[in-house]
Structure 1
Amino acid sequence: MDAKQAFRSIKQEQLLPVYICYGTESYLMNEFVEQLQEKLVQPEHKDMAIVRFDTGEHALDTIMDEAETLPFLVSSKIILVRDQVLFAAGKESSKVEHRPERLLAYMEQPLESTVLVFLVAQEKLDERKKLVKAAKSKDWVVAFAALQAEELQRWLLKRASGQDRSMGSDAAEELLRRVGTDMRALAAETDKLCLHAGQGGSVTLASVRSLVPMATEQNVFKLTEELAALRTAEAIKLYHGLLKQREEPIKLMALLVRQFRNMLYVKELGSQGYSPQQMASQLGLHPYAVKITGEQARKFSPERLAALLDELAELDYAMKTGRVDKALGLELFLLRTGSQGAS
């Protein structure tokens, strides 16, 4: 089951007794939990109806004792379990001992008045484990993967619409370029823009540009775009703006190195037939970041990217040994790169 199906099931009141939620998009996972709570628990009953555990701190026997106990003074309860041990992939590490067979038995006869939710903040579950196989056989596993660029844009438009505001696709795209893919930050900025637009108003491209500051990493994305397009003056203007914000040249250089390296990886993986989704998984990037990186990479040859990385490695050494002023050294690199272009 994917996140969309899980949210739809809550709206249709088709709740499951057990959920195994996993994935890298923690914002969506938390939103799912909040909607579960709104559906099942009255605000004044939260203290009695919501119980939290962590498999790194609590034995599974303790968790199952709670799951098998009828709710007290409320009709139903939610048990939220942070897990990096029972369902997670990789080496298990826990201060306490767990008996998975106890949970396996419960999964065969779960209590109707309890919703047991395991939250696994990992990209994958361990498919070899009996618990994972049992949960999958019952369709109790929910994947919260990072949204694609188009899905993120639709999500932004829907969030604005839910506040009786409209948002153009150009405004949504600019918002993504400025904030990045952190859904929590995107939600906060969207709410701010909606407040500015007023009831029934519109979030425009101009309002995004005037009200939303560009995050440092997004400025570096923009910086590489300007360099590729031979707009050296714009690149230097961006760089000076970052220095005024007290950004360290060495930090900016490290971000440039990462971006140029990612461009090279994307070009290499693309030549091997990898899809954007496969690239995102391979590189540990958000699909939207892969999209932007791919667009930039098309303007650079592999040889040029390799040469830039070599030059940045030498500059890094020169900066750290005091042979060159940090701010001036990076500015000279930008001037040389902009004048030489991407080929």
Structure 2
Amino acid sequence: MDAKQAFRLIKQGSISPIYVCYGTESYLMNEFIERLLEQVVEPDHREMAIVRFDTGETSLDVIIEEAETLPFLVPSKVILVRDSVLFASGKESSRIEHHPERLLTYMGQPSETTILIFLVGHEKLDERKKLVKTAKTNDSIIAFTPLQSEELLQWLNKRASNQGRTMGSSAAEELLRRVGTDLHALAAEADKLCLHAGQGGTVTAQSVQELVPMATEQNVFKLTEELAALRTAAAITLYYDLLKQREEPIKLMALLVRQFRNMLYVKELGSQGYTPQQMATQIGLHPYAVKITAEQARKFSQERLATMLSDLADLDYAMKTGRIEKTIGLELFLLKTGSSGAS
């Protein structure tokens, strides 16, 4: 099942005895665990009712024994297991010997007083494993994948609404443009904006601009936008603003390289008929980042992007060998790129 369905079920009080939570969106995964704990564990019982393990440090035999043991002084308990061995897809192994058959047996008859949750911070599960197949058959698997562009906007609107505030689409879009797609950072900034708006207030795009600083990576997005629009002066001004914030030219250059490379990937994959979601998986970007990158890539030809990447490679060598002072070197690149245009 997906995360939305899982949140809805626990809100309705439908709790499963076993969950396998996987995916790269750790914020949503942690939020799901918190909502689940609110449903099944009294606040005063948390210390006694929550048990934590890691399959890299504890054998599955010990974990199952704990799951089968009746809770002490509390009506039920929750066992949280960090796992990169049993369910994950990859070559990571553990020094601990595990016996998966113990868990398979437990899955067939789980304890009525225990909720066993495996937390797998991987993009995929190993579908070849019997544990994964069994958990899938039991509908115990929950995927926590990055939110799509519209889902991010809805998530921000809902977060503001839950605090008695309103956040319009323009404000949410500006917040995404400034912070990026990391939910931990978005949540912190959204809460700050809601506090500023006051009970019943509205978070506006202007308040976002005034109160939320632009993250470095988002500034690099902006820098490429200025270059694509031939606003060379604006690009240079932004560059020196970043220098005043003590950002290293070599770091900024590396971020530019990554952005131009992603733009080239998006153009190539788009020409092959890939959808934005397929591109996100292929490149390893958030879907929202793919959307913004695709918008920027339309302003550059593939030949121009390839040339800029070649120029940046030469600049990287010149900087690191002392042939050019790094601050001046990157400024000259921005001047040359802006004057050359996108074609």
* TM-score normalized with structure 1 length: 0.99
The 3-state SS of whatever aligns with 2:56 is: coil
Partner of 2:54: 54
Aligned length: 343
- Residues of 2 paired with 1:94 and 1:114: CA distance? 25
Partner of 2:204: 204
Partner of 1:231: 231
Q: Give 1:308 shift.
A: 0.3
Partner of 1:30: 30
Q: Give 1:273 shift.
A: 0.9
- Residues of 2 paired with 1:171 and 1:341: CA distance? 31
Q: Deviations over 1:101-122 (max 9, x none)?
A: 0000000000111110000000
- Residues of 2 paired with 1:147 and 1:27: CA distance? 11
Q: Give 1:92 shift.
A: 3.8
The 3-state SS of whatever aligns with 1:117 is: strand
- Residues of 1 paired with 2:92 and 2:187: CA distance? 34
For 2:195, the aligned partner's letter is: L
Partner of 2:71: 71
Q: Give 1:40 shift.
A: 0.7
Q: Give 1:88 shift.
A: 0.3
- Residues of 2 paired with 1:179 and 1:96: CA distance? 40
- Residues of 2 paired with 1:6 and 1:78: CA distance? 17
Q: CA RMSD in A?
A: 0.6
For 2:177, the aligned partner's letter is: R
- Residues of 2 paired with 1:299 and 1:145: CA distance? 30
Q: Give 1:71 shift.
A: 1.1
The 3-state SS of whatever aligns with 1:106 is: helix
Residue 152 (structure 1) aligned with residue 152 (structure 2): yes
For 1:182, the aligned partner's letter is: D
The 3-state SS of whatever aligns with 2:97 is: coil
Q: Deviations over 1:167-193 (max 9, x none)?
A: 110110010010001000000000000
- Residues of 2 paired with 1:227 and 1:271: CA distance? 23
The 3-state SS of whatever aligns with 1:102 is: helix
Q: Deviations over 1:118-175 (max 9, x none)?
A: 0000000000000000000011000000000110011000000111110110110010
Partner of 1:126: 126
Partner of 2:138: 138
Q: Specify every segment of 5 or more residues in structure 2 that has no aligned partner in the other structure, as ranges.
A: none
Percent identity between matched residues is 77
Residue 183 (structure 1) aligned with residue 183 (structure 2): yes
For 1:249, the aligned partner's letter is: P
The 3-state SS of whatever aligns with 1:206 is: helix
- Residues of 1 paired with 2:191 and 2:241: CA distance? 26
- Residues of 2 paired with 1:269 and 1:23: CA distance? 24
- Residues of 1 paired with 2:103 and 2:93: CA distance? 18
For 2:282, the aligned partner's letter is: Q
Map of 1:10-29 to 2, 5 A cutoff? Answer: 10-29=10-29
- Residues of 1 paired with 2:70 and 2:92: CA distance? 31
The 3-state SS of whatever aligns with 1:24 is: coil
